[in-house]
Chain A
Amino acid sequence: MTRMVEEQATGFRVSRRGFIKGCTMAAAALGLSETMVPKLVEAATSPKRPPVVWLHFQECTGCTESLLRASHPDIGRLILDIISLDYHETVMAPSGYQAEQSLDDAISTNEGKFICVVEGGIPTKDGGIYCKIAGRTAMDILDDVGSKAAAVIAIGTCASFGGIQAAEPNPTGAVGVTKLLSGTPVINIPGCPPNPISFLGTVLHYLTFKRLPRTDQLGRPLFAYGRKNHDQCERRAHFDEGRFVEQFGDESHRQGYCLYKMGCKGPQTFANCPAVRFNDADVWPVSCGHGCVGCTEPDFWDTMSPFYQRLPGVTIPAGGRGIVDAATSKGKVILGAAAGAVGIHAAVGVGKKIFGSNEDE
């Protein structure tokens, strides 16, 4: 402990090294060569930090909290060195009138140039009364601020697709940003919450190339959502050999076998969880013995639940004997919808559609 504290006490040199390492990892996540690292560093540390306005609507602040846990760049470096976080209700010093002043200043000074980050769903029912800030509905604020931004980053499944409040019966008519906003480019970073590297990689990409990264047809950047968890999972060999956990805590669970039969939704979830993992602790839910719940997919609260029932329509190898068996499901009705959604996804083809006017790099 003493050694580490001393390192911190020597100031920001150590942090900078960590930051460059972070840029290297972000570059790797973006599929860029290491020669791009200096450019990323330069873009991210230009004299004028790009202004960011962060809006909170129907949300739990989990996405902001995930950034608080990011290590490269860490939150201090992000808001002090990389971006100018001009409006963010969870961290900003002023409240009330002074907070509104900060929002007005940020927009009027940087119209058409700032990045707008949206966290949370937007309620549309009954005129949007279910979420109000400074007397205005979330719908009004999004329309006003979003239309003046250079680009909108929808962070989390709520801002991307409506999220938990949009789950059946969607009592407030909650929707994601793309349902309401047109004319401003929108990129979706779903997840509940998303891995902070997926958000930070998008920001760094935008700052470096002055355009958003390429996305799938759901508006999700390919560098983070291009492959299924199942295809990157460290337990995949157990799946292929037909070795499954039958119950939490049993011998198969203690051997780290595949969690498919415990309801894992990895086979239909596009995300980078097993690749980049979480919290610098080399973990993701599956590594702690719990199935993936599919949180980066639209409507996963309905289409991927019940969470402890297995996905239908997945062909599994059985018992390591080379016998191929189609899984059956008790949750056909709800889970069937997931299969349908993924079917559409596959039919359109991940990566075929490139976001906006981006060209191949």
Chain B
Amino acid sequence: MAQRITVDPITRIEGHLRIDVEVEDAAITKAWSSGQMWRGIEVILKGRDPRDAWLFTQRICGVCTTVHALASVRTVENALGMEIPINAQYIRNLVMSLHALHDHIVHFYVLSALDWVDVVSALKAGIKKTVALAETLSNWPGNSFNRFKAVQEKVQAIVDSGQLGPFANGYWGHPAMTLPPEANLMAVSHYLEALDYQRKADKAIAILSGKNPHIQNMSVGGVTAAINPDNETTLNIERLYWVKQLAEEVRGFVHKVYLPDVIAIGALYKDWLAYGAGVTNYLAVPDMPLDTRGTSFDLPGGTIVGADLKTVKPITGFNDPYFKENVVESIAHSWYKGDWSKHPFKEETVPDYTDFQDNGKYSWIKAPRFKDMPMQVGPLAQVLVGYAQGHKLTKKYVDDALSRVSTLAGAQVGADVLHSTPGRHLARAIRAAMLSDLALEHWDKLVANIGTGDLEIFNKPTFPKGEQMGFGFHEAPRGTLSHWIVIRDGKIENYQCVVPSTWNAGPRDGKGAPGPYEASLVGNPMANPQLPLEVLRTIHSFDPCIACAVHMLDPHGRELTRVKAL
């Protein structure tokens, strides 16, 4: 007989998420994903100055800080038909890539490692054996005898104190925790080192943007970080080299610690490569533009249908109608009145909170669809879309990672194992390796351009009378983010955000098709329904961000936009 389990709160994510599952014969047969918070930021934007929108939307999320800022300025620029100086493009690209590096490192170690790593088991590790294990993975200087010993003593001291803090009531000793003690100790050591390296990425962002989280150097039309090699208060060569040094240090951590750790966990938990695929339609947009208008990019975008890489169809630029015309959001199972699917420019939503109804409405999150299909977004989509198009950098890192997984697991694995729970982690680490290379490349491009004497960072936006519509996208750490704006007489008439975690965490649509979280849970094993570790593994592999996923609607039932043919 099926047993119903509710996990609320899901922790080690951003925001408030509830997951319900039905379990039968130690496996999940049905799942529901429910966003539990709503703030109404898009409502608050109505009537305001479009130049201010990025400051507001950035506060949709402090974990995904920078990403809504970037999407928002691109959106207003798109509505005005603007281009921005190439220096501004490179600075934005640096901020974007460094933020993604911070975010991926934090996600793997702080938010998800404790699903796979048994902290208490690390106490049983032999130090010399741990060093030996670590040396098979990389030559990272932090993998030393003294370091591992100090970390083990630290864990022992915490356990002895009886104050386990955030580690209390963890899933220690759970039957699904199968790493050897040495792997656990190494991972705990890297968890602590990760805290230092994520901070380096943030520091580099702050040098360019004033502070972090919530940067303050964007502007519709460019960036505000003035460049002047002959001034001590602006971006000069000292500041720029500081950014470079930090980016290099972070790159070292990604290549020698993060990526090898994920490869090892993927190999040591190879049974899990069969679980968690869920929705295998993928969507990613291109990013890291190489020109002032966003027509060529370092990172490719596109769609894949039904796990078939041959179906790949590229998304080519900031104005590509293939993306613009095919996005809709469904509210059939969301706490809004009606059961429609509409394009973001046409949405008008009225709240209708009903509490949790299994077959009715059960979430504040909407269900976005592309050509009426649920799509999985995120690093896995990014990597697969690039791989399918033969993108050189993607192919290099995917092939290398798969060959290392194969060696460690003692069995040949191909790209098909990426459609899985560990596959999402692996794709994220691959994406991080790519971004760590590209950050340095874009630093070179920026400095070379400054060297030509070009110091431009800003084109002034002008808002004509009448109506302009625009959209902007950004391939954020959690996947495809798009903002949609209607401007009337220089003020915001309507603003919508279609967010990565909305694509992934959304509920069923009008046809009953489940969203990626829900689909990915079905078939997962569950050793002990009272201790839902396996649910956490699969949900965390998406890197949920619920503040992002739920952000919209008008509680007074006012029409937010006039319906308009596109």
A binding-site residues for B, Cβ under 8 Å:
1-2, 4-6, 8-12, 47-49, 51, 56-66, 68-69, 71, 74-76, 79-80, 83-86, 88-99, 101-102, 105, 123, 125-126, 129-135, 163-165, 167-172, 174, 192-193, 234-235, 247-249, 253-256, 278-281, 283-290, 293, 301, 305-308
Evaluate contact between A94 and B170: CB separation under 8 angstroms.
Answer: yes
12 contacts between A and B (CB under 8 A): A9-B147, A11-B146, A12-B154, A63-B62, A65-B63, A92-B166, A93-B119, A93-B170, A97-B7, A193-B213, A249-B456, A279-B207
Which residues in B have their C-beta under 8 angstroms from that of A61?
A: 14-15, 61-63, 547
Which residues in B have their C-beta under 8 angstroms from that of A58?
A: 37, 39
Assess whether B8 is interfacial by the CB under 8 Å rule: yes
Take A86-B165, A287-B233, A289-B225 as given contacts and tell me if A80 and B158 are in contact as well, using a CB distance cutoff of 8 Å. Answer: yes
Take A9-B146, A126-B353 as given contacts and tell me if A89 and B9 are in contact as well, using a CB distance cutoff of 8 Å. Answer: yes
Q: Tell me the complex Cα distance, A25–B12, Å.
A: 31
Q: Tell me the complex Cα distance, A9–B555, Å.
A: 54
* Interchain CB contact (< 8 A) of B52 among A1, A290, A306: A306
Evaluate contact between B63 and A248: CB separation under 8 angstroms.
Answer: no
Q: Tell me the complex Cα distance, A287–B165, Å.
A: 38
Q: Which of B110, B225, B248 has the most CB of A within 10 A?
A: B225
Q: Tell me the complex Cα distance, A345–B566, Å.
A: 50
Given contacts A9-B144, A61-B547, 15 further A-B contacts (CB under 8 A): A57-B37, A60-B14, A61-B14, A68-B198, A93-B168, A130-B37, A131-B37, A134-B9, A164-B39, A172-B38, A247-B458, A255-B231, A283-B210, A289-B224, A290-B217
Which residues in A have their C-beta under 8 angstroms from that of B36?
A: 131-133
Determine how close the nearest CB of chain B comes to the CB of A311; give it in whole angstroms: 15
Q: Tell me the complex Cα distance, A98–B536, Å.
A: 13
Q: Interface with A: B188-196, B439-447, B478-486, which one?
A: B188-196
Q: Interface digits, B448-475 against A, CB 8 Å rule (1 contact, 0 not)?
A: 0000000111101000000000000000
Q: Which of B168, B198, B211 has the most CB of A within 10 A?
A: B211
Q: Tell me the complex Cα distance, A1–B140, Å.
A: 11
Q: Which of B146-166 contact A (CB under 8 A)?
A: 146-147, 149-150, 154, 158, 161, 163, 165-166
Which residues in A have their C-beta under 8 angstroms from that of B361?
A: none
Which residues in A have their C-beta under 8 angstroms from that of B242?
A: 281
Which residues in A have their C-beta under 8 angstroms from that of B234?
A: 254, 256, 289
Q: Which of A105, A132, A306 has the most CB of B within 10 A?
A: A132
Take A75-B195, A91-B166 as given contacts and tell me if A306 and B49 are in contact as well, using a CB distance cutoff of 8 Å. Answer: yes
Evaluate contact between A164 and B56: CB separation under 8 angstroms.
Answer: yes
Assess whether B65 is interfacial by the CB under 8 Å rule: yes
Which residues in A have their C-beta under 8 angstroms from that of B169?
A: 93-94, 98-99, 101-102, 105
Which residues in B have their C-beta under 8 angstroms from that of A290?
A: 210, 216-217, 219, 224
Q: Tell me the complex Cα distance, A61–B501, Å.
A: 15
Which residues in B have their C-beta under 8 angstroms from that of A90?
A: 11-14, 110-111
Determine how close the nearest CB of chain A comes to the CB of B280; give it in whole angstroms: 26
Evaluate contact between A1 and B12: CB separation under 8 angstroms.
Answer: no
Which residues in A have their C-beta under 8 angstroms from that of B193?
A: 8
Evaluate contact between A12 and B150: CB separation under 8 angstroms.
Answer: yes
Assess whether B206 is interfacial by the CB under 8 Å rule: yes
Which residues in A have their C-beta under 8 angstroms from that of B166?
A: 79, 85-86, 88, 91-93
Evaluate contact between A94 and B171: CB separation under 8 angstroms.
Answer: yes
B binding-site residues for A, Cβ under 8 Å:
6-16, 36-41, 43-44, 48-49, 51-52, 55-56, 59-63, 65, 85, 106, 110-111, 114, 119, 140-142, 144, 146-147, 149-150, 154, 158, 161, 163, 165-171, 192-193, 195-196, 198-199, 202-203, 205-214, 216-217, 219, 221-222, 224-228, 231-234, 242, 248-249, 252, 353, 455-458, 460, 530-532, 536, 547, 553-556
- Determine the main DSSP class of B at the interface with A: loop
Evaluate contact between A254 and B231: CB separation under 8 angstroms.
Answer: yes
Evaluate contact between B146 and A49: CB separation under 8 angstroms.
Answer: no
For residue A238, which residue of chain B has the nearest CB? B233
Q: Tell me the complex Cα distance, A132–B141, Å.
A: 45
For residue B37, which residue of chain A has the nearest CB? A131
Which residues in A have their C-beta under 8 angstroms from that of B195?
A: 68, 74-76
Which residues in B have their C-beta under 8 angstroms from that of A57?
A: 37
Determine how close the nearest CB of chain B comes to the CB of A47; give it in whole angstroms: 8
Q: Tell me the complex Cα distance, A165–B552, Å.
A: 11
Which residues in B have their C-beta under 8 angstroms from that of A167?
A: 44, 56
Q: Tell me the complex Cα distance, A200–B119, Å.
A: 27
Q: Tell me the complex Cα distance, A97–B9, Å.
A: 8
Which residues in A have their C-beta under 8 angstroms from that of B49?
A: 305-308
Determine how close the nearest CB of chain A comes to the CB of B249; give it in whole angstroms: 5
Determine how close the nearest CB of chain A comes to the CB of B229; give it in whole angstroms: 10
Which residues in B have their C-beta under 8 angstroms from that of A91?
A: 12, 110, 166
Which residues in B have their C-beta under 8 angstroms from that of A192?
A: 59, 214
Which residues in B have their C-beta under 8 angstroms from that of A102?
A: 168-169
Q: Tell me the complex Cα distance, A288–B236, Å.
A: 11
Take A8-B193, A11-B147, A256-B233 as given contacts and tell me if A95 and B547 are in contact as well, using a CB distance cutoff of 8 Å. Answer: no
Evaluate contact between A11 and B62: CB separation under 8 angstroms.
Answer: no
Determine how close the nearest CB of chain A comes to the CB of B39; give it in whole angstroms: 4
Q: Tell me the complex Cα distance, A88–B167, Å.
A: 10
For residue B555, which residue of chain A has the nearest CB? A171
Evaluate contact between B212 and A69: CB separation under 8 angstroms.
Answer: yes
Which residues in A have their C-beta under 8 angstroms from that of B554?
A: 171
For residue B460, which residue of chain A has the nearest CB? A247
Determine how close the nearest CB of chain B comes to the CB of A49; give it in whole angstroms: 5
Which residues in B have their C-beta under 8 angstroms from that of A306?
A: 48-49, 51-52
Evaluate contact between A5 and B216: CB separation under 8 angstroms.
Answer: no
Q: Tell me the complex Cα distance, A280–B205, Å.
A: 11
For residue A278, which residue of chain B has the nearest CB? B211
Take A90-B14, A256-B233 as given contacts and tell me if A301 and B216 are in contact as well, using a CB distance cutoff of 8 Å. Answer: no
Evaluate contact between B10 and A249: CB separation under 8 angstroms.
Answer: no
